Amino acid sequence: MTSALAPRQLVLALDHSVSFARDDFLRGPSNAAALTLIDRWPDWPDRIVAVIGPEGSGKSHLAAIWAEVTGARVLSAKLLSMTDLPAAFVTGALVLEDLEFAGLDERALFHFLNLAREQGAFVLITSRSPLSTFPVTIRDLASRMRALPSVQLAAPDDTLLRALIVKLAADRQITMDEALVNYLANRIERSFVAARAAVHRLDEEAMRQHRPVTRALAVELFRTP
């Protein structure tokens, strides 16, 4: 029996090059304070600061910009308890990336913050959640986390959202015209995650159907019911 539906092309999951260069950072009202903090180094309000924001908001990009300038090493917070911290602080600057309460080793973080102070090191912490909201049980750790200066990354405004869509498409070697960019921006949630998901969906469907990425394809995928 012959199926009435044509077989769909399987799409391979390919890595897409993403540049973390300073010139490729998209500045807008939602991230201006965080970018200013990075650019002000070493004139910081404290040697340890935090950048807080949702997934995809540019925390890693900002951290990469700062690491390039300072020679900072980048340490995943998940590996904190397994890291030789004195060696990690050898350059006098360190990024502690993706610090979250889930799975947090409080003693390891407490030791990390104490050692950073002793070493006089500069530390940039990135997290999705304000550090002051972590329900840690070590009181001294809680007070130190509350005292750390932080800047917040907000949702993108309309201009930044459109620029983000263009950049995400360019990372995939896709060129989008203004009509397509505006159509997407008006039909997705105003968030970094939604923009990334929309561009990925368009790219994937275009490859499956052997079609170019156009507004017509976007209308098929994102038409409001």
CATH topology of domain 27-152: Rossmann fold (3.40.50)
Q: How confident is the model at residue 22 (pLDDT cuts 50, 70, 90)?
A: confident
Beta strand extents in the chain (DSSP E only): 48-52, 73-76, 93-97, 122-127, 150-152
Intrachain domains 27-152 and 158-222 with the same fold: no
Alpha-carbon gap, residue 94 to 123, rounded angstroms: 5
Return the structure tokens found at 102.
């889930």
Residue ranges of domains in the chain: 27-152, 158-222
* 166-213 pLDDT per residue, tens: 999 999 999 999 999 999 999 999 999 999 999 999 999 999 999 999
154 Ramachandran zone, left/alpha/beta (phi>0; psi -120 to 50):
beta
Half-sphere exposure of 76 (CA within 13 A, CB side): 4
Residue 1 has pLDDT above 50, yes or no: no
Q: How confident is the model at residue 78 (pLDDT cuts 50, 70, 90)?
A: very high
> What mean pLDDT value characterizes the chain?
90
What is the share, in percent, of the chain residues with pLDDT greater than 70? 91
pTM over 0.75: yes
Residue 8: per-residue pLDDT: 35
CATH topology of domain 158-222: Helicase, Ruva Protein; domain 3 (1.10.8)
